[in-house]
């Protein structure tokens, strides 16, 4: 699997540590994020990554900013995307198993590097469980399509 990764300047250090971890896991990635010392608007990074995922260029992505919230809000504006803020093990697991989230959003100012690595490990081990969640994700997609026809 090849993923996309992106950050703004508030999460550059976390992105670097995540890339090292992905290298250890032998997960390929393309970096859409800020470079050292770059100042970028996180909505631009989130949009670029979310569009690439929505177009099928990547199955999953990781976005990082100060809290993960802004990246998540922006990514979810792209039709077909389900992004989730992941700051604990349970919500990280459920983002995949229940919601089939393709994009994980992390906040450098909220979690530490070791927790981020642990959450990434959980996120990559989890797959969409279907079952009772399948009709809910289907409905999310229907609502998405309804409002994106405008």
65 has catalytic annotation: yes
| Coarse DSSP helix, strand, coil percentages of the chain, rounded to the nearest 5 percent | 50, 15, 35
Alpha-carbon distance 32 to 51, whole Å? 12
Give me the catalytic one of 7, 65, 72, 105.
Answer: 65
pLDDT in tens, 32-79: 989 999 899 999 999 999 999 999 999 999 999 999 999 999 999 999
**Structure confidence at residue 102 (pLDDT):** 98
Distance between terminal CA atoms of the chain?
33
Prediction pTM value = 0.95
**Structure confidence at residue 148 (pLDDT):** 84
């Amino acid at each position: 699997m090849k993923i996309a990764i992106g950050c703004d300047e508030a999460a550059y250090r976390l992105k670097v540590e995540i890339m090292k971890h992905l290298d250890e896991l032998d997960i390929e990635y393309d970096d859409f994020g800020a470079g050292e010392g770059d100042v970028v608007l996180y909505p631009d990074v989130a949009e670029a990554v979310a569009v690439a995922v929505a177009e099928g260029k990547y199955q999953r992505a990781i976005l990082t900013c100060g809290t993960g919230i802004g990246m998540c809000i922006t990514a979810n504006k792209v039709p077909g995307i389900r992004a989730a803020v992941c700051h604990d093990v349970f919500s990280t697991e459920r983002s995949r198993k229940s919601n089939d989230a393709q994009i994980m959003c992390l906040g450098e100012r909220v979690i530490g590097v070791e927790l981020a690595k642990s959450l990434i490990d959980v996120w990559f081990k989890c797959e969409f469980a279907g079952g009772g969640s399948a009709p809910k994700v289907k409905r999310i997609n229907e609502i998405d399509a309804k409002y994106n026809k405008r």
